[in-house]
Amino acid sequence: MEAVIFVGIQGAGKSTFYRERFSDTHIRINLDMLKTRRREQLILEACLAAQQSFVVDNTNPLPSERARYVLPARAAGFRIIAYFFETPLAEALRRNNLRALKQKIPAVAVAGTFKKIRRPTLEEGFDEIHTVTLTAADQFILT
C-alpha cells in the first residue's frame, strides 16, 4: 500500500506524471476535481479503509498541508512517498499558458505557490523522496 504525495507548483506536470506512472494502480485524489476538502477527505478515508494505494495530486507546498495525508496514511500502515516537482517558475507559467482556458491558473497564483513551496523532508514522515524534472521535450527525469 502506497500513499504518494506530489509536491509542486501548478504547471509542473504533476497530473501528466500521474497519468503516465500511476493511473493503473493508484486512485487519484485531486482537489481541483473533487472541489471541496470534505469530498477529498471522504476519498482519502475510503482509500485508507480499503488499503488502496493513492496519489495526492495537489500542489502541497508546505509540510503542514502534506501532514493531512502523511499522518493518517502512516497510522494506516501505508508506505509514504513524496515526488517533488522541481520546476522553474517561467517553465510552469509557459506550461500553464498551454492549458485550456478553464484549466488555466492565474499567473499570480502560480507565483504565490512558487514563493511558499518547501521541499519535502524525511522528517515529515516520508519513506522515500524523489525529485522530478522535465526536459525541454517534456520528458520526465526522476532522481
Rounded CA gap, 79 and 59, in Å?
20
Locate 2 and state its grid cell.
502506497
Q: What is the mean pLDDT of residues 84-94?
A: 92
Pinpoint the alpha helices (H) of 22-123.
31-34, 37-50, 63-75, 89-97, 107-116
Domains of the chain in start order, with CATH, are 2-142 (3.40.50.300)
Predicted local distance difference test score (pLDDT) of residue 37: 94
Q: Look up the pTM and report it.
A: 0.93
Asked if 89 contacts 9 with a C-beta cutoff of 8 angstroms, the reply is yes
Select the more confidently predicted residue: 8 or 106: 8
Q: Is the per-residue pLDDT at 101 higher than 80?
A: no
- Tell me the pLDDT of the chain averaged across its residues: 94
Q: Which of 104, 52, 62 is nearest to 82 (CA)?
A: 62
**Number of H helices and number of E strands within the chain?**
6, 6
Residue 31 CA, chain-centre distance (Å), reads: 10
At 134, is the pLDDT very low, low, confident or very high (cuts 50, 70, 90)?
confident
Predicted local distance difference test score (pLDDT) of residue 115: 96
Predicted local distance difference test score (pLDDT) of residue 114: 95
Q: Provide the percentage of residues in the chain whose pLDDT is more than 70.
A: 100
Query: Which tens digit of pLDDT belongs to each residue from 24-82?
Result: 999 999 988 899 999 999 999 999 999 999 999 999 999 999 999 999 999 999 999 99
How far apart, in Å, are the Cα atoms of 89 and each of 5, 9, 40, 68, 118? 21, 8, 27, 26, 14
